[in-house]
Amino acid sequence: MDKAWEDAVTRGDVETVRQMLRAGADVDALDRHGQTALMRAAHRGSRAMVEALVAAGADLDVTAKYNLSALMLAITAGHVEVARVLARAGASLDIRGSGAPGFAGKTAHDLAMGLDMKDLSAELRPG
């Protein structure tokens, strides 16, 4: 992931990100931690950025450390509305975390239940 792209995503600068995408930026480029822009935006709780990246065709199911997806990162950071956007966009509900005891074997639904997000967890039951 190039520095200008990473900076625009981090700042939540949706217009610059859209311009960069029109100029050929890779919506699924990975940063030095193996995360995509969508994952970074989800973890930060930037709903507008998440919506822009989803509309641009970002892969909803890329995983990085502990096998966490953008949906799972949004949940662990407490961003219910961002998690809802990702779930409704079709993010996989079957991905299971790995490694750390708090994530190993857990789906987005499990993470939401563990954080007492009952209103969200009903939408996240794996099929």
- pLDDT for the residue 82: 96
Task: Quote the domain boundaries for residue 65.
Answer: 3-124
Contact 73, 29 (CB under 8 A): no
CATH of the domain at 40: 1.25.40.20
Which letter does DSSP use for residue 122 in this model? G
pLDDT at 113: 86
| pLDDT tens by residue, 59-89 | 999 999 999 999 999 999 999 999 999 999 9
pLDDT of residue 115: 80
Q: What's the pTM value of the predicted model, to 2 decimals?
A: 0.93
8-65: pLDDT as tens digits: 999 999 999 999 999 999 999 999 999 999 999 999 999 999 999 999 999 999 999 9
As a whole number of angstroms, the distance between CA 36 and CA 13 comes to 16
Contacts of 46 (CB under 8 A, 6+ apart): 12, 82
Number of structural domains the chain divides into? 1
DSSP result, 51-103: HHHHHTT--TT---GGG--HHHHHHHTT-HHHHHHHHHHT--S-----SSTTT
